[in-house]
Structure formats: structure tokens, C-alpha cells
Amino acid sequence: MVKKIILLASLAVAMIAPQSLKADEGMWLPMFIKRLNYVDMQKQGLQLTPEEIYSINNSSLKDAVPIFGGGCTSELVSKNGLVLTNHHCGFSAIAGLSTTEHDYLRDGFWAKSTDEELPAPGLSVQFFVRMEDVTNKIQEVITANMTEDERYESIQTLARKIEKEASENGKYSAQVKSFYKGNEYYLFVYQIYKDVRLVGTPPQSIGKFGGETDNWMWPRHTCDFSMFRIYADKDNNPAEYSKENVPFHPKKYLSVNIGEKTEGDFAFIMGFPGTTQRYLTSWGIDYLVNTEYPAFVDARAKKLDIMREAMAQDQATRINYSNTFASTSNYWKNRIGMIDALTKNKTADKKREIEAQVQKWIDGDSARRQLYGDIFAVMQKYYSSTADADAAMQYLSQAGLSGSQLAGVARSIAMVLNNDKMPAEAKKQYIPTKELYSRLNIETEKELSAELMKHIVANVPDSLLPSVLKDEIKKAGNVNLLAEKMKKSVVFTPDDFIKMAKENPKALNDDILIKINLSYADKYMELRKKMSVIQNDFNRADRLFHYALIKAFDGKKVFYPDANFTMRVTYGQILPYDPKDGVTYHYETTLKGVAQKYKKGDVEFDAPEKLLDLYAKKDFGRYANSKGELVTCFLSNLDITGGNSGSPIMNGRGELIGIAFDGNWEAMSGDIEFEPTLQRTISVDIRYVMFIIDKFAGAQNIIDEMTIIDTPSAAKAKDVKTSKKNRK
């Protein structure tokens, strides 16, 4: 036991030691900024102290950067709880508040006073309070002879206990997170505010200009922002929505800098990146490119086609399905880009070179051969033996379980109402009402259910299809006749579905739509269970691979932890890039690009007449740059991923200069391998945001609430040549 603890401790030091840091790569835990990154950040242009970035005892930048909703980042920009995030992060809440009479997605919304702000049910923000290393505590419950299941259960039991203690009887939300595939553990404590209200949003033609065509692409010209306000009780504590609540007063908020930015300027981001796989093996990459991602893309493409056609025919359908379409489309295009980038950038080949060096290190010592000798063979076996099942699971999940919203809800209702272990009184709240149908189009749901079922049958091998589905196809005569039968499900007749749920819930399991959807779930779990048989061996091999990787490159390479939706800091410079031979992308775009891309009436490239008039008159006010242009978006070499959407991009003084919203197409492989010559963060320039609020919307009350600074953004890196190295 002692020997094992010493090994883990030495590994931790190797993982975080500042050996060859690169300012553009890395998602750094703020707790370690002082020890690992501060000197380098100073050289690049940082003018803050580590305590001003992350502090437990005093206000710091971390207090101005909460999690927004379930998967984005945001920033406080006033003493009265005003929050900025991306338009696409607020999209669900905006869509939920929109109706055919008040279409805030299409027309935008601006509250002229706090009385006009719109409560957004279900929306919350989470403030990061503190983090703590609990690795030693976790190690105490781990023994060398444990199976992977035993190890997992022991860790989870202790983690829940640590979280409960840290929550202080519900005052906080606490999570113990694993790092380096279970080699380190940290506790993260948050405070959640649940009364969040919409303050302002530009129309979708501004906030999502370029639509799916421009998504993940440069150059960009979208003003991807929305504004909300956090409310609290009279003592500034979290509270459920109430008219008696008052604007929240944060410990820290950001000043807005509308000054000039130039190439090489230092910039940094604080935010909550979701997931990266920077230490994925070559076999894992081949698995994604050849198996998992193609199935994912194909399943979602079919769903998008059905929704796109329905949304084009009806305004209410467009509003009600806009969020589902956007969320489905985002990672559909992301996975297409991942396949393309991982292939073009030969990422798997780079990993193979690393693996060869690790293998050489393993072979150099008999004890190492004994401990690590089988790890690559185990991982190879896992990927080769689970490929077909994984592809089938993608179709069952993306086209089946996540296909029709109505079918998915009906399946869940049937499962609950027929759960004999649940008290009858508790089941009553799951009886459907007409409200279930209020934001769904029944004909669209019919098409999604039937056509996606046919798509599953066409793409999943017969041996991996649910037996219930195969039986029902035989009973119906063929798959097309079954599709028509599904459209006649009781679920698509609200009164009949509600009546059956109340009076005869057992009959729900015999309804053809519910029956088939239950079969998707059953088959998915069956395949998952079969995969889990060898998953334990894989998990062990993967964890040991991390040991070997760190040791093999000891003193040569730094290994920051993969993203896991915990607060991170990334820093670098504002830079252009060269995507291919003979092409250089400038680091800024201007409103001129909106006028050039504009297509009247186009769903993606239309623009408001007022915006075009302001451009024609060059009426940019104090938000114009020194050339009289209005900058819309800019590039930096900062290291972000999903979850960073809405993150503040700040200058060396910690002033807000932009809002991160995207990565670039050429480096879509960045979640797996950082590409220094290609990888860029795309941000909306804060001057464009202020211009839209001020000149376009005329929301002077919002402008007056913020602290606006008009000075040059920040110092450049001391060695500008170094900052430009990643363009070569």
C-alpha cells in the first residue's frame, strides 16, 4: 500500500511539472496557476497576480465566471448580476420564452428595465467556490488486489461521502472528479442560483448569422451573445424564482474594454471546457474515424432532414424545434469535421509514434514489462471486438432513443407507470397532460418515429437489431407497413394516450410505438452490458497506459489533465493562421463581411435592415476601430472545447475583450491532439456586442450598467517572434 502511494505521488508530480510549457496549448486548473503558469503568463503579457485570478479567501476572476445552464460558460459584467454568454447558450431559454405572437428568436428582445426581464424556468448558473485535492483520501480505500468494479465502487462510496460533507447540508453542490484516468482526484464545490431572467438577445439573424453553413468555420461574422440577470433573495443568497427576489450582487464582475486589439496581443480565457481525449491511443482514433463517428453522423443527418423540412413549412414548428435542431446539428457537423481533421492531420500516426516510444520504455525493464506489458494488446482487442456493437448503439441512440421527442417521453411514462416498485401516489405526477403536446408537432413526431425506425433497420445488421423490432416487421409484412402502423399509435392522439395512461397503463407496453422504443432501450443496454465484460480490462489498461506515458516522457513533456467540465485557464495570443498553401486568414473580421454574405430572406444569411443601414452609414459610434471599421469577430490560439462556449476572453488586465464561441474547421481534431499551427478560438469582439446593444437595439439602460473602458487592449508578448511561431 505504501509503495503504491509513493508511486502515485511521484506520478502526480510528473504530470504537472512545468517542463516545456507552451502558452497556446493546455487547459490549466486555476488552483495551480501560481506554481505552473504564472511566470510564463507574465512573459506573454499578463498584468494580474495569481491571487487576482484564483482565490478562495478573496474575490477573484473565478467569481465572475459561472457555469451557465447545463453546459456553457458565462461572465458577470455588472454589480447587479448582469450576465453575458453566447446566443446559442441562451438559445433554449429564448426559444422556450418565444411564441408565435412574441418570437424572440426571430425578432430579439430587450428589457428596458428590470420589471420587463423575463424569468427563464429551469435555467440556472453555478459559481465555482473552491477546489481541493482529495487524491490521498481516495487512495486510502484502494488496494492492489481489487477488481476494476471493486475499485470503482470503493471510490464512488467515498466520493459521495466527501461530496455530502462539502455540501454543508445543501448550501453547496459538490463533485469529486477523476483526473488522468483515475490517478488523481479533486473536489469541486459550487453554489447554484436558480432565478435567472432574460435581459436581452439580438435577433437570430444577428446572433446566429451564418447558421449551419458558417458553424465551425472562419471567417465568421455572427454576434453570438445573449444577456441574462441573476436574482437572489434579500440576503444575496440563492433562491427559487420569486417576485420578491432582487438582482444578485457578485463578488467580482468584469470591466468591458472596447479598445484596439492587434496581432500578438496577450489574451486568456477562464471557462468550463467539457471533454477532451488528448491521450487517446491510435486504436481509439481509428475506432472513432471508421466506426463510431460515421454512424453518429449518418443517424443525426436523417433526423435533421426530417426536422428541416417540417420547420420550413410552419412558424410554430420552427420555433418549437429550433433548439432541438440546433443541438442536433452542432455535433453532427462537429463529428464530420472531426473525421476530416483527424484524417488530414494524420493524428493516429502521431499517436503511433508516441506509443512506440512508450513501448520502448516498457521493454527497457523487466519489472515494467511485467506491469505494463499487455496494455496495448488489451486496448486493441477492446476496439476490434466492440466496433460492430458500437456502430449499432449509435443508431439505436441517435435515431431511436433520441429520435422522436414524443416517443421518448411516452417510453419513459410507460416505464414509470408500469414499475411495480414505485408507490401509486408517486406515479400520479407522471400521468401525461395536454401540456406535453403544447410545443410538439404531432405530424413531425410521426415522421421522426417512423422514418428513423426505417433508417435503423437499413443500417444495423440484422443480428444486432432488437428482436421485438424484427418480430413486428414480420407481423406487419415489411418495414414500410410497420412505419405506417407506428404512425397510428395511441401516443399521437392526446386524449386517448392520457386516458390509457390513467386507466390502463399496462396497455401502454403493447402500443406499437412504445413497444418498439422500449426495444431500442433494451437492445442498447444488452449491447452495452456485453461491451462492459471487457470494459474493465480496458479501463485498467488505459489507466496503466497513463502511468507509462508519463514515465516514458519524464522531463520531456508536460501532461495537463483532460477537460472534464471543471474550470480551466488557457492563454496565448491574438493570431491569424494559414489553413493551407497560399492562404492566410486575418485575425479579425468586420461588419463589411455581413454585408458581403447577406442574402435577403435566406434562413442563414439574412440580416436586419437596420443593421445594414448602420453599416452603409458607417454609424459605428465609439465602437469603430482606428480605421473606422466595426470589428465583428477575432482569432486567438487559445485552447478550448465544448463547454467553453460563452467564456470571457480577457486581456492582460482581466478586462473583457470578447466572448469565445467556436473552434475552426481545420483543427476539429483538437479535442484529441492540439494542432499549434492550425488551432484557433473564434470569439465575437466585445465591440460588436456593445454596438448591437447600443446602436442597433438602443438599450442604453444596459450600456449604462456596465463599466466600459476604451484603452489599448493589452501588452504583447515580450518575444513577438515566439508568438508567431505557430503560423509556420
pLDDT in tens, 559-595: 889 999 999 999 999 999 999 999 999 999 999 999 9
pLDDT class for 511, splitting at 50, 70, 90? Answer: very high
Q: 665 by DSSP, 3-state: which?
A: helix
Residue 332 lies in a domain: yes
Instruction: Name the residue among 716, 570, 578, 572 with its Cα closest to residue 643.
Output: 570
Residue 4 has pLDDT above 60, yes or no: no
Q: How many angstroms separate the CA atoms of 366 and 5, rounded?
A: 21
In tens, the pLDDT along 31-81 reads: 999 888 899 999 999 999 999 999 999 999 999 999 999 899 999 999 999
- Which residue range is the domain that position 522 belongs to? 282-549
Q: Compute CA distances 268 → 44, 120, 571, whole Å.
A: 10, 30, 4
At position 430, the amino acid (one-letter code) is: Y
In tens, the pLDDT along 462-509 reads: 999 999 999 999 999 999 999 999 999 999 999 999 999 999 999 999
Alpha helices, DSSP H only, in 487-608?
Answer: 494-503, 512-552, 592-597
Say how many domains are in the chain: 1
Q: How many angstroms separate the CA atoms of 51 and 93, rounded?
A: 35
| Residue whose C-alpha cell reads 491532439 in the numeric block | 673
Contact indicator for 666, 581 with CB cutoff of 8 Å: no
Residue 673 lies in a domain: no
Concatenated DSSP letters for 229-288? EEEE-TTS------TT-EE---S----EE-S---TTBEEEEEE------TT--HHHHHHI
Residue 676 lies in a domain: no
**pLDDT score of 714:** 56
Instruction: Name the residue among 533, 23, 477, 81 with its Cα closest to residue 267.
Output: 23
Residue 11 has pLDDT above 80, yes or no: no
Look at 554 and 102; give whichever has higher pLDDT: 102
Residue 515 lies in a domain: yes
Q: Compute CA distances 368 → 79, 283, 364, 552, 674, whole Å.
A: 57, 22, 8, 11, 29
Contact indicator for 591, 50 with CB cutoff of 8 Å: no
pLDDT class for 354, splitting at 50, 70, 90? Answer: very high
Residue 662 has pLDDT above 90, yes or no: yes
**pLDDT score of 723:** 43
Provide φ and ψ at 579, rounded to 5°: -70, -30
Q: Range with the lowest mean pLDDT among 249-253, 417-421, 454-458, 678-682?
A: 417-421
Q: Say how many residues make up the chain.
A: 728
Residues ≥6 apart with Cβ < 8 Å to 438 = none
Instruction: Name the residue among 202, 263, 261, 268 with its Cα closest to residue 629.
Output: 261
Residue 319 lies in a domain: yes
428-452 mean pLDDT: 95
**pLDDT score of 715:** 58
Q: Is 518 left (phi over 0), alpha (psi -120 to 50) or beta?
A: alpha
Residue 387, judged by CB atoms within 10 A of its CB (0-12, 13-18, 19+), counts as: middle
Residue 199 has pLDDT above 60, yes or no: yes
CA 15 to chain centre: 25
Residue 309 lies in a domain: yes
Residues ≥6 apart with Cβ < 8 Å to 6 = none
341-352 mean pLDDT: 95
Kindly tell me the sign of the dihedral angle through the C-alpha atoms of 444, 445, 450, 456: positive
pTM for the structure as a whole: 0.90
Report the percent of the chain where pLDDT is more than 70.
95
Residue 675 has pLDDT above 60, yes or no: yes
Residue 678 lies in a domain: no
178-198 mean pLDDT: 95
Instruction: Name the residue among 22, 59, 1, 20 with its Cα closest to residue 723.
Output: 22
Peptide bond into 219 cis (omega under 30): yes
Q: 678 by DSSP, 3-state: which?
A: coil
192-214 mean pLDDT: 97
In tens, the pLDDT along 277-287 reads: 999 999 999 99
Q: What is the dihedral of CA 136, 137, 140, 142, to 10 degrees?
A: -90
Cell of 683: 470569439
| Catalytic residue list | 88, 224, 645
Concatenated DSSP letters for 170-237? TTSEEEEEEETTTTEEEEEEEEEE-EEEEEEE--HHHHTTTHHHHTT-SS------EEEEEEE-TTS-
In tens, the pLDDT along 231-241 reads: 999 999 999 99
Instruction: Name the residue among 566, 682, 673, 667 with its Cα closest to residue 334.
Output: 667
At position 666, the amino acid (one-letter code) is: E
**pLDDT score of 717:** 54
Q: How many angstroms separate the CA atoms of 38 and 160, rounded?
A: 34
pLDDT class for 86, splitting at 50, 70, 90? Answer: very high
Instruction: Name the residue among 332, 323, 272, 402 with its Cα closest to residue 90.
Output: 323
**pLDDT score of 713:** 66
Question: pLDDT averaged over the chain?
Answer: 93
Q: Compute CA distances 441 → 289, 313, 486, whole Å.
A: 35, 12, 16
Residue 338 lies in a domain: yes
Contact indicator for 635, 263 with CB cutoff of 8 Å: no
Q: How many angstroms separate the CA atoms of 463 and 671, rounded?
A: 34
Residue 12 has pLDDT above 50, yes or no: no
